Structure 1
Amino acid sequence: MSRRTSPRRQPAITATSPCPCGLGAPYGECCGSLHQGRAAAPTAERLMRSRYSAFVVRDAAYLLRTWHSTTRPPGLDFDPGITWTGLDVLGATGGSAFHQEGTVEFRAHYRVGGEADSQHELSRFVREDGLWVYVDAVG
């Protein structure tokens, strides 16, 4: 008798779950409020954290909405075999309420095929129509 294995599913995130971005607040009060449009990211780092959380909860609409109009892809597909497991923000430049642009360096941890791995990126953010948006990876 053979057994077929399926990719591990991402654990369900609810409004009261710890937010995947790592700030310690419940998802509904943290990135969930951004995903639902009840609040806007005040800094480039908060936008980056909310975008990581959007990958965790597979919110393509939010990711596309927070992508710069000149670099936004027409759509997104999520790899069902990836389980996001954590985020480390390594540094940021600019990106505050007083800036028009900024960068955030991060490492996003995930598991795929039972193996742990990570994505390291220096992301560039700018304001578009007054809101922080992701432009691209630097370098």
Structure 2
Amino acid sequence: MDVRLDHLVCWVSDQLSSLHFYEQVIGLPGVRAEEFRHGQAAFPSVRISSETILDLMAYDASRGVDEGTGVSGTAGHPINHLCLAVSREDFDALQVRLKQHGVEITGTGTNSFGAQGIAPETIFFPDPDGNVLEVRYYE
């Protein structure tokens, strides 16, 4: 079986603020961002990879989610963190952007296991809604 991660949904309080954070601070390209800004899409997304996007869904849209998924209690269900793997160059550039935007790195790690093996360095920081992101690079 060949399986790929298609999308993740992140609950956010201010979709435009979160879109700005993920586009400008993290550096991910927006998907349907202009359509959202013009009221033509219910939520914006950002592209993590050629096959994976992160949907930025408003908390108030959580009404009806349980009915849509058929699983009770899923609306707003938290996750511990999501991890993005980038190049070493992008890892260093991200740290500069985080500092420029006043985003505190709340944790670091070394030799951390992940989907591609051992990452020499990782950083952790929150998005505007307190969702925790981990960013790492592999050699």
More helix as a share of residues: 2
Q: TM-score by structure 2 length?
A: 0.24
